[in-house]
Amino acid sequence: MDFINYVGRPKPPRSPSSGYVQYKKPLDYSHVIGMLNQNTLRNRVRTRPYGENKKLKTWMFIDYGNIHHSLLDLKKTEQLMRSFSEKDLILKLKNRAERNNGLAGVIMYMGTPHTNLNIAQLQKLKKKNELMKASLEKHGIEVRFKFNENQYQGGMKEHGVDLSIGYTIIEKALDNCFEKAILISGDADFVPVVTKLFELGKQVEIWAFTKPEHNCALSPFLIHELSKHGDLSSRIKSINSIL
């Protein structure tokens, strides 16, 4: 259900939070992803309210597991990306966010983005993540661990990371810590979070990998929710075009 195509559908499928919403035109998921990858979505004519170009107080929230898996997929098809580390990517995203925003803070949640780890491998991974945490915090990025793994026959799998990110975002929104939130994730789990942020009068941007297209990390449910609140070109950024 996460990668269906909306072509020709008068109504999109039910999303986790919003139910059915009638569009003036059906949302073509593959067309939106194609335009993001060709950098043509941002070139569409649009009008902006007065003052929208000012630098808003912004917080960035990073789902480490989402970019971890997306970067691994990208390295399989893009040779130039094979020497690109996760730390390089995270710092590049932070630097990009600082260009047009009044970036006030960055929080990244790290879980265990593997499904076949035994106990010894898990302990080794946690030590590696501790080193990354120390390195990133020197650059002003707060790293929060969420080691809440579920054990099953194939190994370990993270659990509750998206919930923790969503809770933190809403908590900071209610405390008026930001005017705009940048979420580095394309997971459909964040649809209710995005809905609530708009209800609170906050601006929202979703940054996600859009390549490889056959395994795109940007959920159509997120695209659907964002499309109800203005032009998608000001709501979605392809991480592939940033790299």
Q: What share of the chain is helix, strand, coil (3-state, %, to 5)?
A: 45, 20, 35
Q: Give the span between the Cα atoms of 218 and 70, in whole angstroms.
A: 10
**pLDDT tens, residue order, the chain (243 aa):** 333 333 333 344 444 444 433 334 445 666 666 666 666 665 443 434 434 557 899 999 999 988 888 888 888 887 777 788 889 999 999 999 999 899 999 999 987 755 566 778 778 888 888 999 999 999 999 999 876 555 544 544 555 788 899 999 999 999 999 999 999 999 999 999 999 999 999 999 999 988 766 667 788 899 999 988 888 888 999 888 887
119-137 helix and 86-100 helix, angle to the nearest 10 degrees: 40
Q: Would you state the CATH architecture of domain 56-242?
A: 3-Layer(aba) Sandwich (3.40)
Position 215 scores a pLDDT of 62
Q: How many CA atoms lie within 13 A of 223 on its CB side?
A: 29
Domain ranges of the chain: 56-242
DSSP conformation class of 50? T
Scan for tokens 């996760």, then name that residue. Answer: 86
Position 29 scores a pLDDT of 63
DSSP conformation class of 118? -
Position 138 scores a pLDDT of 96
Q: Give the span between the Cα atoms of 46 and 102, in whole angstroms.
A: 23
Let me know: does 80 contact 124? Beta carbons within 8 Å. Answer: no
Position 22 scores a pLDDT of 37
Position 214 scores a pLDDT of 60
Q: What is the helix (H) or strand (E) element at residue 70, kind and residue range?
A: helix 64-77
Q: Give the span between the Cα atoms of 59 and 24, in whole angstroms.
A: 33
Q: How many CA atoms lie within 13 A of 210 on its CB side?
A: 25
